[in-house]
Amino acid sequence: MTESLPGKAPRSRHVRPRPLLLLLLAVCYAVAALGGAAASDAGSTYRSLDRPSWASPSWLFGPVWTVLYATIAVSAWLVLRRRSLAETKVEVVVWSAQLALNLAWTPLFFGAGRYGIAFLDICLLLAAIATTMLLFRRRSPAAALLLVPYALWVLDAAALNFAIWQLNT
């Protein structure tokens, strides 16, 4: 059922506002924490690698990822907040897959030093982000736009991953 007030758009019975947003933020920051725990020595590892001259400084990654994980959560929230899980099953699966690929990259790159496999993972991650953006765009253009900085940062990270792989093998 829907309810509406004069001058207001009808509200869907599937509205899950703040609790859903908090859950999505918790999931995204849990991924960040797990990735961070898997590579607790990431900063010194990164500084010890041969890197291209255009590589970002290690101190930049924490602040950027903090913002990006929030945008990943808010993006999903914009798509899910007014729809049932049945209506958004494909979007949830693809969004979850990109988050899982995101989580896998840090232990592969920093924990295991498997730069080639990490590059494969980040390429799959880019494809999953692009697919997520396309699916989200149908439901909420704003949700898709929120993922643009994430996609660009991961694209830069993929180029850096490839360069480090080439310079350190």
Which CATH architecture fits 18-38+56-167? Answer: Up-down Bundle (1.20)
Per the CB < 8 A criterion, the answer to whether 88 and 160 are in contact is: no
Average pLDDT over residues 53-67: 93
pLDDT, tens digit, 9 for 90 and up, residues 110-149: 989 999 999 999 999 999 999 999 999 999 999 999 999 9
Q: Provide the residue ranges of all domains of the chain, joining segments of one domain with +.
A: 18-38+56-167
List the one residue out of 82, 95, 85 whose CA is nearest residue 136: 95
The reported pLDDT for the residue numbered 10 is 46
Q: How many CB atoms lie within 10 A of CB 87?
A: 15
pLDDT, tens digit, 9 for 90 and up, residues 88-106: 999 999 999 999 999 999 9
Predicted TM-score (pTM) of the model is 0.87
Place of tokens 């990164």: 46
Distance of CA 18 to the CA centre of its chain: 20
Statement: residue 6 has pLDDT above 60: no
**How many H helices and E strands in the chain?**
7, 0
Per the CB < 8 A criterion, the answer to whether 140 and 88 are in contact is: no
